[in-house]
């Protein structure tokens, strides 16, 4: 009887047991499934080296945001001098500001030069509507810089159909 149980575990005509055969077939099935998944991923582009390189390049561009061209600065001289009303003490105050616009395209700088009167008008109106207490803070000055950049870009878009001023910098800021 012991011999008959050994015969049941062996495949007829070979010396491989059923247990070994099941393990081998299972390994082959797993390998076929893994290869099939790899082929599908490769064909859809999710596993190609180019896709990985593109994703890495997109991530590095978002992180570093390296400018393509050097910054070009243009002075918005002469200085802007405006008066505005200080609400808390009901008195007139004066503000003198010198500004420079920064862009990376000479076409934008030429547009600033060409539309200088409209830009100066918008900036004078913006400056004259400021609050004295707000401008005393760093946050208030930063908000004013951003508002000035927006005003310049709005004038350029309205007049020339372009915009591209990236920043406005105060080179002098005097409140009295």
Predicted confidence at residue 1, as pLDDT, reads 46
Among 75, 72, 175, smallest CA distance to 120 is for 75
> Could you read off the pLDDT of 13-56 as tens digits, one per residue?
566 788 888 888 899 998 898 888 888 877 776 655 555 555 55
Contact criterion met (CB below 8 Å) for 76 and 99: yes
Residues 6+ apart with CB under 8 A from 38: 47
Structure tokens belonging to residue 120: 């100066």
Q: How many helices (H) and strands (E) does the chain have?
A: 7, 4
Contact criterion met (CB below 8 Å) for 144 and 135: yes
Residue 105 is given by DSSP the state -
Q: What parts of the chain have a pLDDT lower than 70?
A: 1-15, 45-67, 86-89
pTM: 0.60
Length of the chain: 176
Predicted confidence at residue 13, as pLDDT, reads 56
The Cα 42–Cα 154 span in angstroms is 47
The Cα 64–Cα 119 span in angstroms is 32
Residue that has been written with the tokens 């508002």 in this structure: 147
Predicted confidence at residue 90, as pLDDT, reads 74
């Amino acid at each position: 009887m012991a011999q008959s149980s050994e015969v049941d575990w062996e495949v007829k005509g070979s010396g491989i047991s059923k247990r070994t055969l099941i393990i081998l077939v299972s390994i082959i099935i797993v390998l076929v499934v893994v290869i099939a998944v790899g082929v599908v991923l490769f064909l859809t582009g999710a596993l190609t080296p180019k896709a990985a390189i593109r994703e890495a390049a997109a991530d590095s561009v978002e992180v570093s945001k390296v400018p393509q061209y050097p910054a070009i600065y243009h002075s918005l001289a002469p200085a802007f001098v405006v008066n505005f009303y200080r609400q808390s003490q009901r008195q007139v105050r004066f503000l003198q500001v010198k500004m420079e616009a920064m862009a990376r395209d000479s076409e934008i700088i030429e547009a600033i030069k060409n539309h200088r009167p409209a830009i100066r008008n918008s900036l004078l109106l913006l400056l004259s509507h400021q609050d004295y207490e707000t401008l005393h803070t760093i946050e208030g000055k930063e908000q004013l810089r951003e508002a000035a950049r927006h005003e310049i870009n709005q004038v350029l878009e309205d007049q020339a159909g372009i915009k591209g001023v990236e920043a406005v910098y105060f080179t002098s800021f005097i409140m009295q």
